[in-house]
Each structure stands twice: as C-alpha cells, then as structure tokens.
C-alpha cells in the first residue's frame, strides 16, 4: 500500500505491507533508525514518536494508519547544524542515560511533557516518564534531566511542532 506522511518536516512516500508497524516503516523504509524497538508490544516505550504532536507507541500503530500524518522522531530534535537539543544536553549533563537504548523514547516523551506542561513538578515528570522503561539509570537522572531542561527552555518557544489534533485521526 502506498502511503505518504511527513517525518520531521520532510515528505516521505513509502510502499508498505499493511502489517508493517510505523516503527518498522520509520526504521526500514525511511532509514531513521533512531527510533528503537524494545518489546514490540507496547510495554517498554522505546519506540515512542510524536504523531500529529501526540506521543504514540510506534510499535502499536500500523504505518498505513499514519497516512497523511505529521511525525516527529528523535532525528527531528537536532538543530540546524546538528547540535543537541537542550533536552538532550540535559540528559548528558544529568546522567539521564547509560546504554542509550531507551533514550529516544524517553526524549520524545520528555519533549511532549515540556511542550504541554512546562511547569510540571517532579511528581508529574515521574508519572509522565513512567511509560518508558529504563534498565540502567534508576530514573533519578532522567527526572533530573527533564527538570533541568525545563529551566533551560524557560522563556523559549516550544521546541517541536505543537499540533494538537485529537479525536478524529
């Protein structure tokens, strides 16, 4: 099936089998291997991407369902010259990662939280990030990093496209 979506602002046309998940389409058909696949059944959160501005588990959505959508992946976080996003800087600074496998999903969840609830307290940050499993850090560094990124971004414009289309898509 031929489908078209936008990934990080660029148009992508791919021909996929209906059973191809969005995660596999991003990795295999678009070559965007920054989105990681852990459990492949919606438990670990490693494959979290933004679809029309909302975080989704890319292993629980078929690529054909994303036809016409606008998708943001971890690759979309980098600046024009490849520089790290302030949230990524904060993860480096505060030991928000060790092996890095869960990090793309963590960053996409964190990004959505920063954009929608820039004043979230530690308890909210912890609750929101609980949809992503990390087996290295023990989570303290991740919560610290999101909190630090809040401060770094305070007063700046939202960092990612903030399209809110709910319900019908």
Partner 1 sequence: MKCAPFEYVRAGSVEEVVKVLGEAGGDGKILAGGQSLVPVLALRMARPSVLVDVNRIPGLSAIRPVDGAIEVGALVRHSRLVEQQHHPLLAEAATWIGHTAIRTRGTTGGSIAHADPSAELPVVAAGTAAQITVAGPAGQRTVPAEELFVSALMTSLEDDEMIVRVRFPQPTRWGFAEFSRRHGDFALVTAVVAEIDGAVRVTLGGVGAVPVRATEAERVLAGGGSAADAARAASAEIEPTADLHGTVPFRRAIAAEMVRRALATAGID
Distance, C-alpha 55 to centroid of its chain:
7
Q: How far apart are CA 74 and CA 52, in angstroms?
A: 15
| Residue in this structure with the two tokens 């520089």, named with its chain if needed | 83
Q: Is 123 in the site for partner 1 (CB under 8 A)?
A: no
The only residue of 14, 25, 74, 128 in contact with partner 1, by rule CB under 8 A: 128
Query: Residue 7, SS3?
Result: strand
Beta partners for 12?
5
Nearer to partner 1 (CB atom), residue 79 or residue 163: 163
Taken in order 124, 127, 132, 134, is the CA torsion positive or negative? positive
Looking at the Cβ atoms of 99 and 127, the one nearer to partner 1 is 127
Angle between helices 103-116 and 86-93 (to 10 degrees): 120
Distance in Å, CB of 26 to partner 1, minimum: 15
Q: Which is nearer to partner 1, 8 or 48 (CB)?
A: 48
Q: Does 109 bind partner 1 (CB under 8 A)?
A: yes
* CB 20 to partner 1: min, Å: 9
SS3 state at 145 = helix
Q: Which residues ranging from 138 to 157 are in contact with partner 1 (CB under 8 A)?
A: none
B/e letters for 130-163, b = 16+ CB within 10 Å, e = fewer, are ebbbbebbebebbbbbbbbbbebbeeeeebbbee
* Binding of residue 131 to partner 1 (CB under 8 A): yes
Q: Kindly state whether residue 15 participates in binding partner 1, applying the rule CB under 8 A.
A: no
Per-residue string for binding with partner 1, 34-73, x by CB under 8 A? ------xxxx-x--x-----xxxx-xxxx-xx--------
Residues that bind partner 1 (CB under 8 A): 1, 17-19, 21, 24, 40-43, 45, 48, 54-57, 59-62, 64-65, 109, 112, 127-128, 130-131, 166-169
């Amino acid at each position: 099936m031929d489908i078209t979506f936008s990934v990080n602002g660029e148009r992508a046309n791919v021909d996929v089998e209906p059973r191809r998940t969005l995660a596999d389409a991003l990795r295999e058909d678009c070559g965007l291997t920054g989105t990681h696949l852990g459990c492949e059944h919606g438990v670990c959160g490693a494959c979290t991407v933004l679809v029309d501005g909302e975080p989704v588990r890319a292993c629980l959505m078929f690529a054909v369902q994303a036809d016409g959508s606008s998708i943001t992946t971890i690759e979309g976080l980098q600046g024009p010259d490849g520089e790290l996003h302030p949230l990524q800087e904060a993860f480096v600074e505060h030991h928000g990662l060790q092996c890095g496998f869960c990090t793309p999903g963590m960053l996409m969840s964190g990004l959505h939280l920063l954009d929608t609830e820039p004043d979230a307290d530690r308890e909210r940050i912890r609750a929101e990030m609980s949809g992503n499993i990390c087996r290295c850090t023990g989570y303290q560094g991740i919560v610290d990093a999101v909190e630090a990124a809040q401060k770094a971004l305070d007063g700046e414009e939202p960092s990612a496209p903030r399209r809110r289309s709910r319900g019908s898509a």
